[in-house]
Structure 1
């Protein structure tokens, strides 16, 4: 068989290892669908990039929404636009969704990051996103309030995608919240067969945070070990998920190097990869072989354990749920997501005023 790059080879040889596209852009989805992707992720930052790339068409959408929603705020228009694009683009994945009875083929859309402290608002918006299309998945941040919202969303029949997550304590809390929600549904005789929750592990952002924190404290981590933190946390979370038979699957994201793809080949795992890295990895000389079962070198773990922030992320008891919101990588990512959302609103404002 002739493979269309290394990521296509991955999904053909290891169908349990799903590759997703970290975008809902038309070009990106079409490219990925030809190469076997089974899902896609988006958020206001990603959609903002799609809008800029597809601006001639999106300008027409924005102007139409402004005209047909005369009393709407820029926030209302921004979300109406994101809902419209997401609902439309989810149709590209619908054949995969139908083929796999809901277990694959979903498009994730994130709730408003500004509501990260308010479980009720996140749940309310999750229900709106869920209703956009049969194969929608709702991204909720793994904050203290987000964990509560995930249980309630799962109980409501919504497939969640936990985001802004970096640590084993978060992954366990997410999985347990989903299990509670599923248990409540089953006890009431409600269907759970087509639900497919995932928990995102933002590999590169964790590595970025551990490196930055170590540097700020005058520490110098071994350069090789410093690039394995996210991989180590993911493999530890994966071990716990398999031992405990959680329904939730792990989804890796925020690729910074080839390890962030190659080390998970062969695992029952999802990987969302942005368009730029998708093409880089496709053209790499890394062999496509099973590596999920290969542990991170002990010498790397020993080096990484010098970092308090890594220890918090790696150990199951490294943090309490109440401490999630204050973890450095969580703070940095939420700030970035909110800034990206504000940038999108500013773009809408130019057309409104």
Structure 2
């Protein structure tokens, strides 16, 4: 019988999380089954995921929406209650995993409102509110790695609130995230505050970069001479992993080198590296590309359900794929630069697009909840 590849990944030091959440997944017992089988060690959510869970199925949450709408709750208040309920139930399903884990297992993530992406003070206030509302030690509050998010991350870590830093794309951006985390840790150490219940991950978005860079490569190749065209097209599908391995190098330097030893001795854990956006968007590529090519220790991979199912069906664990590919990734980044491709420019654009996408998803979800509330009340 084939061994569960997610169990094999965990033995390697990489935890598999599920990048989706819904009432149906919880009520059906499917989420519990995936956790109990050793397949899943955490769950992530975002505004798009909640939009799909609520708006994607008109039969989702009817009793809860009716009850809350009847009590005069607004669309925003209704979402607040629905999301909190799903997050609490998921946190409780993961509680045992969290208790016996290594500090990177057993978590569920809930994001601050996308409208706060450029509001430091608003992000801090909202993160405190969510932390207090959920009241689970295995909660991550998600904060985007925007310029306004960075000081919020430092402040929240200093307060002892566990943070999942989302929408991280480039290595320089990642370094600002890691340094904000460390400043927050240092503030707690300086104040004599405990570190044992404090956790953090930095979520690096992967596959979106290939989608963006591949498009530019194809545009450049369109009118290029044959040899140059072949060279450009040969770089397709390589930018995302090459960029992720640049982040991996920085991660090892930030948290596993001599500069972190004093913090570790004081009880601080690393800010774990999490591979996000690992679903394959180009059907020409393997549907487990961003799982198999990013296998490695001291990391997390949060997968969409389709990617998880594909990996369970035909994924293979081949050991640490990160360190052995560092030099190859450097050559790829150099080749991309020589071709006139700026990974930094792509990453900056993807950050902007990601903020806009989450904001649009949140607004669409609010409209659906409002529409459904009115319809249910009229049917009473």
Question: Does the alignment reach a TM-score above 0.5?
Answer: yes
CA deviation vs aligned residue, 1:18-68 (integer Å, no higher than 9, x gap): 111111232563353123321110012112222356754511111112223
1:312 positional shift: 4.9
Instruction: Assess if the C-alpha contact under 8 Å between 2:153 and 2:163 holds in 1.
Output: yes
2:31 to 17, 29, 32: 29
- Tell whether 2:326 aligns with 1:263: no
Query: For structure 1, which segment, 33-42 or 52-61, has the greater mean C-alpha deviation from structure 2 after superposition?
Result: 52-61
Once residues 295 and 36 of structure 1 are traced to their aligned partners in structure 2, the CA distance between those partners, rounded to angstroms, is 26
Distance in 2 (alpha carbons) for counterparts of 1:213 and 1:114: 30
The structure whose Rg is larger is 2
- Cα distance in 1, alignment partners of residues 368 and 219 from structure 2: 35
Change over 3 Å in CA distance of 1:227–1:89 after alignment to 2: same
Q: Does 1:340 align with 2:361?
A: yes
Distance 1:136 1:285, change over 3 A: closer
Q: Which residue is 2:237 aligned to?
A: 227
Runs of at least 5 residues in structure 1 that lack an aligned partner in the other structure: 314-323
Deviation at 1:125, TM superposition (A): 1.2
Residue aligned with 1:209, SS: helix
C-alpha spacing 1:243/1:344, structure 2 compared with 1 (3 Å): same
1:336 to 1:113, Cα distance in 2 relative to 1, 3 A = same
Q: Distance in 1 between matches of 2:322 and 2:345?
A: 23
The Cα offsets for residues 97-156 of structure 1, whole Å up to 9 and x where unpaired, read as: 111275421101111111111011111111122230221101111100011111111111
The two structures, once aligned, show a CA RMSD in angstroms of 2.4
Change (3 A) 1:228 1:101: closer
Report the equivalent of 1:66: 69
Using structure 2 for the length normalisation, give the TM-score: 0.81
Show the counterpart of 2:246: 236
Task: Specify the alignment match of 2:198 in structure 1.
Answer: 195
Do the aligned residues in 2 keep the contact of 1:20 with 1:273 (CA within 8 Å)? Answer: yes
Q: 1:43 to 1:215 in 2, by over 3 A?
A: same
1:311: how far off? 4.7
Runs of 4+ residues deviating >4 angstroms: 52-55, 213-221
Whole-angstrom distance in 1 between the partners of 2:241 and 2:112:
27
**Which whole-Å CA distance do the structure 2 matches of 1:331 and 1:340 have between them?**
14
Residue pair 1:168, 1:233 contacting (<8 A) in 2 also: yes
Partner of 2:186: 183
2:274 partner SS: strand
Partner in structure 1 of residue 122 of structure 2 = 121
Partners of 1:259 and 1:61 in 2: CA distance: 39
Unaligned runs of 5+ in 2: 223-228, 261-269, 281-285, 375-380
- TM-score normalized by the length of structure 1: 0.87
2:283 corresponds in structure 1 to: none
